Every structure is written in C-alpha cells, then in structure tokens.
C-alpha cells in the first residue's frame, strides 16, 4: 500500500508543478471595443476569459450616504434601491459600489456607485461570444477602471486570483488523501487483529451503538422541533421601533417578513446580525410614511448563528 501511495503522490505533485509556471505568468488578455468592433493588438485566446475595455463608454456615477451599519450589505442594499437612485432597475445594468473615502456625517458612510447599462455592453459581449470568448471584467478608460458587477448577483470581477487558491486547495486535498490512506492502513491492521475475537468485537460494537443512540436521542428530538417562539422573540428584539412587520412566515428553515420601515437600509443589518443570510427579496419602495420592504433570512430556531 505504501508503494502505491508514494507513486500517487509523485504523479500528483508532478502534475501540480507543471501547472504552476502557467499560473504565475499568465495574465488575462485585453479586448478593446471601439467604433463598434473588437480591437486587439494580438489574437485573443479562445476558451479563456478576457478583460473587456470600453474606452468610449460613459458610465453613470453617483455618490450618496448610507448608515455605517450598511457597509456589510452594500451590494444588496444598492441593488434593492437601484430603480430609486438611478433611471434603471438592477437587472438592467452592470454596477460597482464601494465606500467613498470622503468624510461623512457621524454614523454614516459615503458610497460611490458606478453604473453601466447592459444595453451599452451587450454588442461587445455578443461580438466576443461569436469568437468563443467570455469577458471576466469590464474596464473603463476615465481613470477609474474598475470591475463592474451585474445586477441579480452576477459578477464580472477578475477571477485569476482564485486560481492559485484553487491549486492550494487541491494540494491540501491531496495531503488529506495521503493522511487518510495512512490511517486506513492502520485501521485495517487493527481490524485484522480484532477479527481474531469476533464475539468480543460484535459485543463492543453493539454496546457502542446503544450508547451512541442514547447520547444522540435528546439532540435529535430538539432538531425535529425547532423553536418558533425563539425565532419570533429574536426577530422582535432585532427590529427597531420605527419598523413594523405586516407579515412573518417561518417555513422550513426560512424566515420571510414584509412590512413598513422608516429606513429599510438600517433594518437589513439589524436583522442580519441575528439571522444568517439576511437579504431583500424585492426592491425597497418608498410610500407615504416610510419604505415598504420584503426580506428573508435563515431561521435557526432560536435566532442565533
């Protein structure tokens, strides 16, 4: 078994070594869309993502402020308010949002929003697609080149940095396989010895199974009956006094709430602090008396992470 393991490790590490030079030196090609056509200095590599440069594009920019607690949820909050802050819906644009370093009022942060309508980018993406090429990011030529992320959660952010991380994970997975193989060999040797006394092994196995069932029974019962009261109590403590819930639904492990808030952008971080995966399910709408909202989160039965 050891010889087979050594041979496998030698082969796998050799394959990784052959990939590392490419990973270290490869840079994405740049495709420039100008005067209605793709302009490049060299042939574009098919099957590999490229950076799409748009020197003639004129992005729509806006700066505004949000509560400081919204920093963690900037993309979700801005996407939910896109049609209120811009002439477009979130699914009609590629956008990039980030904190602006300009000083803001206490408890607030300035946010810089860059928006490019999908209709502007579509001809360039179609031209690349006809060549079997996909764009991984959009670069602007006004001194603020930045990857733009599309609405509905799709991102054109550069992906090449993730490749070395993937290699590291594969290496760790290989080492994990090696360690598991060693432990498997030890376990097989112990099993061969234990088989000499079958009655003892079976008796111990039955006793261990019985003790395991006794130990896990209370935990399994608690899992089968999650506390709805605990969830509602945690939700009541998370929602501020200037927000009201019109409906609250708990189905399986999802908590869904709709209602009215004086400032829905403050509400999402508060709910997110008590429940995982908090997000808006629909755009925030301004009405008389505040903003209507629909959000959901993962219910843990007691409102904790």
Q: Which residues, 6 or more positions from 228, have their beta carbon under 8 angstroms from its beta carbon? A: 250, 301
Segment 280-289, tens digit of pLDDT:
999 999 988 8
Q: Between 294 and 216, where is the model more confident? A: 294
Report the share of the chain in percent with pLDDT over 70: 66
Domain ranges of the chain: 30-159, 228-298
12-26 average pLDDT score = 52
pLDDT at position 64 is: 93
Q: Which residues, 6 or more positions from 51, have their beta carbon under 8 angstroms from its beta carbon? A: 28, 29, 30, 31, 135, 136, 137, 138, 139, 158
pLDDT at position 42 is: 66
Average per-residue pLDDT for the chain: 76
pLDDT at position 304 is: 47
pLDDT at position 170 is: 59
Segment 70-122, tens digit of pLDDT:
898 899 999 999 999 999 999 999 988 999 999 999 999 999 999 999 999 99
CATH class given for the domain over 30-159:
alpha beta
Q: Which two tokens stand for residue 212?
A: 């395991």
Q: Is 20 within 8 Å of 167 (Cβ atoms)?
A: yes
* Most confident by average pLDDT, 1-15, 29-43, 88-102, 205-219: 88-102
Three-state secondary structure string covering the chain:
CHHHHHHHHHHHHHHHHHHHHHHHHCCCCEEEEECCEEECCCCCCCCCCEEEEECCCCCEEEEEEEEHHHHHHHHHHHHHCHHHHCCCCHHHEEEEEEEECCCCCCCEEEEEEEEEEHHHHHHHHHHHHHCCCCEEEEEECCCCCCCCEECCCCECCCCCCHHHHHHHHHHHHHHHHHHHHHHHHHHHHHHHHHHHHHHHHHHHHHHHHHHHHHHHHHHHHHHHCCCHHHHHHHHHHHCCCCEEEEEEEEECCEEEEEEEECCHHHHHHHHHHHCCCCEECCCCEEECCEEEEEEEEECCCCCCC
Report the share of the chain in percent with pLDDT over 90: 23
* pLDDT of residue 159 exceeding 50: no
CA distances in angstroms from 25 to 21, 22, 29, 133, 147, listed in the order given: 6, 5, 12, 20, 21
CATH pick for 228-298 out of 3.30.70, 1.10.3470, 1.20.1740, 3.40.50 = 3.30.70
Segment 199-208, tens digit of pLDDT:
677 777 887 8
* pLDDT of residue 163 exceeding 50: no
pLDDT at position 24 is: 44
pLDDT at position 155 is: 38
pLDDT at position 167 is: 52
Residue 44 CA neighbour count, 13 Å, CB half: 22
Count other Cβ atoms within 10 Å, centred on residue 16.
15
222-237 average pLDDT score = 74
């Amino acid at each position: 078994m050891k010889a087979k393991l050594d041979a496998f490790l030698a082969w796998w590490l050799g394959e990784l070594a052959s990939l590392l030079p490419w990973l270290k030196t490869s840079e994405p090609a740049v495709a420039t869309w100008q005067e209605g056509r793709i302009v490049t200095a060299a042939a574009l590599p098919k099957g590999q993502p490229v950076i799409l440069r748009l020197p003639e594009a004129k992005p729509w920019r806006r700066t505004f402020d949000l509560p400081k607690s919204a920093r963690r949820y900037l993309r979700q909050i801005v996407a939910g308010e896109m049609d209120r802050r811009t002439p477009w819906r979130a699914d009609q644009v590629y956008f990039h949002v980030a904190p602006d370093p300009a000083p803001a009022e206490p408890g607030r942060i300035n946010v810089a929003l860059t928006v490019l309508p999908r209709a502007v980018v579509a001809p360039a993406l179609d031209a690349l697609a006809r060549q079997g090429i996909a764009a991984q990011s959009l670069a602007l030529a006004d001194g603020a080149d930045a990857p733009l992320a599309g609405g509905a959660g799709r991102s054109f952010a550069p992906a090449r940095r993730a490749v070395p991380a993937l290699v590291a994970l594969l290496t760790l997975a290989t080492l994990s396989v090696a360690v598991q193989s060693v432990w498997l060999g030890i376990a097989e040797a112990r099993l061969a010895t234990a088989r000499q006394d079958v009655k003892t092994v079976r008796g111990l196995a039955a006793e261990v199974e019985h003790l395991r069932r006794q130990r896990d029974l209370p935990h399994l019962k608690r899992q089968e009956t999650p506390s709805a009261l605990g969830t509602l109590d945690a939700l009541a403590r998370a929602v501020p006094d200037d927000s009201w819930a019109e409906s609250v639904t708990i189905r399986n492990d999802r908590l869904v709430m709709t209602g009215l808030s004086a400032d829905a952008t403050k509400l999402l971080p508060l709910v997110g602090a008590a429940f995982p995966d908090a997000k808006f399910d629909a755009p925030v709408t301004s009405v008389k008396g505040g903003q209507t909202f629909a959000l959901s989160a993962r219910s843990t039965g007691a409102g904790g992470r």
